[in-house]
Structure 1
Amino acid sequence: MNEIEAPVPPKPKSQVKPKASRKAKPVRVVERTEDFSNLPVSDPEDQQQLIAVLQQQIRSYVAIQGDEAEQPLLEQALADIERFHGGQLRRSGQPVIIHPLRVARYICQAGLDAPTVIASLLHDTIEDTTMTRDYVSGNYGEWYAEIVDGLTKIKPPETETRQSVVVLEATYQKMLGAMARDVRALFIKMFDRLDNMRDMKSMPRKKQRRISLETMGVYVPMAERLGLWEISREHTELCFQVLYPMRYTATVDTLEHLKQERGGAIETMRQRLGVIMGPLEEKLLAVEPLFSQPADHIFRSTPVDHVLEGFQITVAQPLDCYQALGHLHMALSAIPRQVRDYVSNPRWNGYQALRTALLLEGERVTVEIVSHQMHERNRHGIMAHWSGTPSELADYYKTYLDQLNQVAGESDLRMNDVLRSMQDEQVQVFSPKGEMFALPKGSTVLDFAYCIHTDLGNHCIGALLNPSRSGPRQSGTRVPRDRQLGHGESLSILTDPNVRPAREWLQHAVAAKSQIQIKHAIAQQNAARARRVGREVLWQELRRLQIDSETWLDSPAVQEALTSEHLTPESFLQEIGLQKREVVPFLKHHKLVPAGQMNTFRELLRARNWGAVFRSQATTNFYIEDVADLLLHFGTCCNPVPGDRIVGFSTDAMEVEIHRAKCPRMAEFQKHRPVLVQWRLPKDEKRRHLFEIGVADGSGILFRITKIIKDAGVAIEDSVSSVSGAGQASIRIRVEPITWSQYSRICHGLRGLKFVKHLTPSRLDGTASVAGKHP
């Protein structure tokens, strides 16, 4: 790589984000973008000739599609990539400059706007040359700098595999952010990867496989999710060639053989369909067979046994599709329950068509009916919809871009979460108003609630399935929030203002957005709880020192002390509440104790630790008012329940871990700071609970368990038993709403049974209480 000194930027261009040229027309993409990678350009003269041809084609396109202000930017971009990429060669031996020219040419063939063409020319400059972001911003404008920088990889460290994985995650999130902010960055990246895949033959085999696996895991699902079937199919076929070369060759040969073998029969069927469509006259544009492609077989282990996937009938207008369907069903035998109307109800990636299955010439055949516009949009997806602004995109595209943006902004997500957000398999569900929402396959009612609005998700208790309105109230089947969604279902979310997210909700959520929102809600609850505890502890100590606790935090001296340690009043209280910071040493270090209170202060300093201070005053600093408190984590080694003598420890996970005073693992927790805790559960509050009990299989077990529950004065609403094998059984018992006293009595009674191996009581609003393995 040549070292080129970046020239001094001239006067900055306009920082306004460029819009699509007014000359831009709806996308009309060619059958397949022209593949320049296979041209014989080993000779320098051939290389220069190819560069000149590409440059001229790009200039001609921008002259038509762009405006006067974009002409000089194009010329500058062509000059800059020649200057900065000068002397660089790809592994194939071609000059590096050919790559951005090819990508820009693909952008032209896709009918995209002039700014996208210019940005595509620059897409590798920051990553592979000495050109800087400031140079791009100064010479082209901030929009171009954001696009190019967003597509630039973060440089990985040379050591530490885990760090490299983290860098890869950060790179993807950075790219996703750029793509979500402006979809044109996504178009550039798709064509960039396509050109790299076409030009991989000279790369080492190991790198070819790595890039192909990455393409299959990231770019193919994203392309399918956005309806870019042409790009997705070619990406998949190129990956097939690299990952399974022998099977790919055999698949291509078999498909070609089958096509020749069945050519006559397929043509006969095509002509029969043409005759049936005769009454449509000028409305009929084409009847074509849909052949199986090599890309369709990359994950199929069975031998290729067919080449015909069906037929496509193309008509002029959407309404003509229904006429064509009527003619088909009148002339041929239709397979029952096989009609799919994706015209009025597009799929999650924008796909539109009428599909039906028929008996044609003794064979079962799938027929797809589309209008000409549907055909173009089905092949080219979001690119066919793009005409200048995101607001003009269909809702399913805007929703997906919004999901990518949320993933890009969440630094805690790991690579699996990022890949899940790009998943192409989706389930479509509807709100009671008929709004369609697309979520990853396997999503639950909870995911749907978060997809609609964060507040709905945070208070979700379930949903009404396929609701119908009878008078002022809705009716429908009530389902829990962890139920998986079915395709085409309609749901009305049910909420309870007293319900809050819990850790167990993460097991019920599939979508990245849901995971993010649940984690944020839990973190906010933990922080708020910690601040409340911290305030109580702080106020208690200030009162002992006879300091006015109401105004103490607002005093200039305290504000100065907090600022010196980079703390806010909220973070200060939170650290105290989590026992990460002691009040007395803070007061001493910053000299915040009044002179008249020094004697009292010295007594506090003589105390060994916070526990000693509290024990000396016969008080506690942490009350358990709800076993579902997210700041608490109950040890699974001893299963503390209300009524047990307990101790707490402040952990590195920003939680207080609760154990029984006689926990056999107590010695292991001595390294953590002890926190005095005490039960303070509402005496009269009643809640419904579900007890999941793992037992050693035997006789009389259910009788003894139910006797303990009934002796506590509690009625059993439902119970289910199952044998898991190896002498183990599982019993689920749902009880009526009970008090904490009854709850404690039941837990203690069940814990005392020798055959009970595992006890998991949980609140039926979904918030887990105490769970764990029986000691």
Structure 2
Amino acid sequence: MPGIEILADRLSTYLGPDQVNLVRRAYFYAEQAHDGQRRRSGEAYVTHPLAVANILAEMHMDHQSLMAAMLHDVIEDTGIAKEALTVQFGETVAELVDGVSKLTQMNFETKAEAQAENFQKMAMAMARDIRVILVKLADRLHNMRTLDAMPHEKSRRIAKETLEIYAPIANRLGMHNIRVEFEDLGFRAMYPMRCERIRAAVRGARGNRKEIVNKIEASLTHCLEREGLGGEVSGREKHLFSIYKKMRGKRKAFHEIMDVYAFRIVVDKVDTCYRVLGAVHSLYKPLPGRFKDYIAIPKANGYQSLHTTLFGMHGVPIEIQIRTREMEELANNGIAAHWLYKSSDDEQPKGNHARARRWLKGVLELQQRAGNSLEFIESVKIDLFPDEVYVFTPKGRIMELPKGSTAVDFAYAVHTDVGNSCIACRINRRLAPLSQPLESGETVEIVTAPGTRPNPAWLNFVVSGKARTHIRHALKQQRRSESISLGERLLNKALAGFDSDLEHIAPERFQVLLDAYQLEVVEDLLEEIGLGNRMAYVVARRLLTGDSNEQLPSAAEGPLAIRGTEGLVLSFAKCCTPIPGDPIVGHLSAGKGMVVHLDGCKNIAEIRTNPEKCIPLTWAKDVSGEFNVELRVELEHQRGLIALLAGSVNAADGNIEKISMDERDGRLSVVQMVVSVRDRVHLARVIKKLRILMGVTRITRVRA
């Protein structure tokens, strides 16, 4: 009993007597529900929910969160239904308990997927009520503190998940104290030897540092007194995991990291922060480029402070953080420090809480757009690590983006439609590549054009989860519409063999086939055909005769005309590089759609006569675009050879995409080049221009 009474005393300092009694009631309910259950350490199970509630009480959380903490394992471990909790404690508490229960591990095929599915549930729960995640973080923190009772393999898995997922979430919500504890406990479980080494080294270094720390602290305090500025100066110790991360990431020795001395100055108001900054800059010389103003532009998690690095006594670097008491409280407890639920329901969240809310809304949007949970977790893990750049819109609005973001990330951060229709960008009013990483302070302007689509190549350089997810989503939609269009043409062509077409097929026939293939709508069937997953002629037979074995008359089957603009579901084979005018054949490849080969290409010789794999093609009259052809040119070696060839190709309106040269002997050279042309007539013109060059002995088109 004493455990709950100690907690009740602590709660009575900031909660009313009725609210404390509700928390007490939740404790006794949990004690009864978990009766007879024990933790791995041998203690009664109810000690765990009580410890979780104590962690939340340190953050001065509201009574509903504390009740949810007491009951958070009841649904999962004791079989009591959510409805029973609703009757006993009200809907809000039952929803919180249910939200926390949904975050617990479930059985999936792979560990990665299990973690990802877990994460999705967490995001969904977070978006409904942030308190769910705070209870979950407190639950995870107590589990981490008692990790020693677990088997080694399990404790390592839990620690890895904590470092990868829970510590970044605590960081994103601005909860510094919890993040530091997660990282140090996780580090100890993952790498016990390394942790102990660094701990011993820190203990050893502490003695040598004490004198310097005291001297710097005294000189900073004296400086503030002299200027008439009130403020508390304290030395900051680096925690073990941050030392380890810096040693690994920056490849520095332990003594190099410990050579930096860190201090924090806490003052009463914002105005004083800037006056203190001026005072310390006059005491010691500031290091250029190391000043950061997170008060004017807070971090994504709401963190505010002034950061500066100074050259102290004997040239030792001193890192200083200057902040108000409110900022200090927020830096340590994050979102819990300005609790939304302390305000009335109609009051809108302000400042830091609104910023965290915006982030959660973004997470939910990613979750809805992502194709699957693994794609979702990849996106969110990128966005969880808050190394940001701050750039301006042309109207002067500050946009916050992950480090390494490009103009495409910026475009999607402004609006999905801006991202999807982006064609170019101006950085500081100058045209720049879309792939150029943005720097803080730059002004970015996006040039859009109606009807444009995202480029698949953007996926190679975007860094924000939102951009990646929306590009993939748009490409999937584009690929689907192009697959349906190609599938419709292929099926119509196959039906022409029976003197029929899609318009004359009864809807009931389609429904029977859709049921057989377990598809929902006709578009799904056409997409399957366009992607090469189902054969058009087999589908045609079944539609017309209900039988997949009867042969279609082949005489009526003319070749399918292609324009070259069919998009993602039609590609040209790199082995034989067909161009308009060449005799061609289409190879249907499952999942990829149609790959166009030359009729005599050796790579498809074995399947050339198989109507399930290959279909005859022809070029449409209105074919457009440029096509690559590989040429091999043998000529006498001479100075300026490449320039001569490039000039000739250019004179024939061609373009060299790639060129390489081999010397056969001292006199002869062989040049391999990839040239883009419109069709065979254009290629003949390019070859004619090359033939008249002096010294050219032979030109051949390279084919498989």
- Structure 2 SS opposite 1:625: coil
Aligned length: 660
Q: CA deviation at 1:588?
A: 7.1
**Which structure features the higher share of helix residues?**
2
Q: Is the 8 A contact 2:531 2:591 kept in 1?
A: no
Match of 1:419 in 2: 381
Q: Which residue in 1 is equivalent to 2:399? A: 437
Q: In the alignment, does 2:64 pair up with 1:115? A: yes
Counterpart of 2:336 (choices 380, 383, 408) is 383
For residue 462 of structure 2, the aligned residue among 505, 509, 518 is 509
**How big is the shift at 1:64?**
2.4
1:712 aligns with 2:652: yes
Distance in 2 separating the partners of 1:132 and 1:304: 56
Change (3 A) 1:681 1:277: farther
Q: Does the aligned pair in 1 maintain the 2:8–2:24 contact within 8 Å?
A: no
Separation (CA, whole Å) in 2 of partners of 1:163 and 1:430 = 42
Alignment partners' CA distance in 2, 1:734 and 1:107: 66
- Offset of residue 721 of structure 1: 9.8
- For residues 167 and 573 of structure 1, the distance between their equivalents in structure 2, rounded to whole angstroms, comes to 34
Distance 1:99 1:433, change over 3 A: farther
Match of 2:695 in 1: none
SS of equivalent to 1:190 = helix
Distance in 1, matches of 2:54 and 2:280, equals: 42
Aligned letter for 1:523? K
- The answer to whether structure 1 residue 91 and structure 2 residue 43 are counterparts is no
Query: Relative to structure 2, which stretch is displaced further, 539-548 or 318-327?
Result: 539-548
* Cα gap change, 1:652 to 1:233, in 2 (>3 Å): same
Deviations 1:272-294 (Å, cap 9, x if unpaired)?
2222222554x523122223332
Following superposition, the deviation at residue 318 of structure 1 comes to 0.9
Q: Is 1:205 aligned to residue 167 of structure 2?
A: no
Equivalent residue, structure 2, for 1:338: 290
Q: Secondary structure of the equivalent of 2:595?
A: strand
Q: Select the residue among 426, 429, 434 that pairs with 1:464.
A: 426
Query: What secondary structure, in the 3-state scheme, does the structure 2 residue paired with 1:277 have?
Result: helix
Cα 1:691–1:427 change in 2 (3 A) is: farther
| Counterpart in the other structure of 1:485 | 438
| CA–CA separation in structure 2 for the residues paired with 1:88 and 1:222 | 31
**Alignment match of 1:243 (pick from 177, 190, 200):** 190
Judge which range, 269-278 or 193-202, deviates more. 269-278
**Which residue matches 1:361?**
313
1:269 corresponds to which letter in structure 2? I
Mark the CA change 1:209 to 1:321 in structure 2 (over 3 Å): closer, same or farther.
same
Q: Is the 8 A contact 2:494 2:557 kept in 1?
A: no
How far did 1:199 drift?
0.5
Return the alpha-carbon distance in structure 2 between the equivalents of residues 285 and 77 of structure 1. 42
1:674 paired with 2:614, answer: yes
Q: Which residue of 1 aligns with 2:412?
A: 450
Please, what is the CA RMSD of the aligned residues?
4.4
Q: Is the 8 A contact 1:386 1:392 kept in 2?
A: no
1:311-337 per-residue CA deviation (whole Å, 9 max, x = no partner) reads 222221111212222233344433334
Shift of 1:419: 3.1
Distance in 2 between the 1:396 and 1:519 partners? Answer: 26
Q: 2:473 aligns with which of 520, 528, 538?
A: 520
Q: What residue number does 2:272 align with?
A: 320
5+ residue gaps, structure 2, are 663-670, 692-701
Return the letter of the residue paired with 2:454.
Answer: P
Q: Counterparts of 2:590 and 2:326 in 1: how far apart (Å)?
A: 58
The percent of aligned pairs where both chains have the same amino acid is 27
Q: CA–CA distance in 2 between the matches of 1:333 and 1:441? A: 29
Q: CA deviation at 1:529?
A: 1.8
* Residue aligning to 1:288: 234
Q: CA deviation at 1:536?
A: 4.2
What is residue 359 of structure 2 aligned with on the other side? 400
Secondary structure of the equivalent of 1:248?
Answer: helix
Contact 1:444 1:484 in 2 (8 A): yes
Alignment check: 8 A CA contact 1:58 1:104 kept: no
Aligned to 2:337, the other structure's residue is in SS state helix
Q: Deviations over 1:85-125 (max 9, x none)?
A: 22222222222221111112211221222222222223233
CA distance in 2, matches of 1:694, 1:239: 60
Name the SS of the counterpart of 1:616 in structure 2. coil
Q: Does 1:77 align with 2:26?
A: yes
What displacement does 1:427 show? 3.2
Give the conservation status (yes or no) of the 8 Å contact 2:571–2:595: yes
**Superposed counterparts of 1:680-691, under 5 Å:** 680=620, 682=622
C-alpha distance in 2, partners of 1:289/1:691? 68
Secondary structure of 2:45's counterpart equals: coil
Matches for 1:497-646 after TM superposition, within 5 Å: 497-536=450-489, 566-578=519-531, 580=533, 608=551, 613=554, 616-620=556-560, 623-626=562-565, 629-646=567-584
Report how far residue 195 of structure 1 moved.
Answer: 0.8
* Residue 705 (structure 1) shift: 4.8
Letter matched to residue 419 of structure 1: K
The one-letter code sitting in structure 1 at the alignment partner of 2:422 is: C
Residue type matched to 2:261 in 1?
E
Question: In the TM superposition, what whole-angstrom CA distance separates every residue of 1:333-352 from its partner, at most 9, and x where no partner exists?
Answer: 33334332221112333222
1:235-256 Cα deviation digits (max 9, x unpaired): 1111232233344334333333
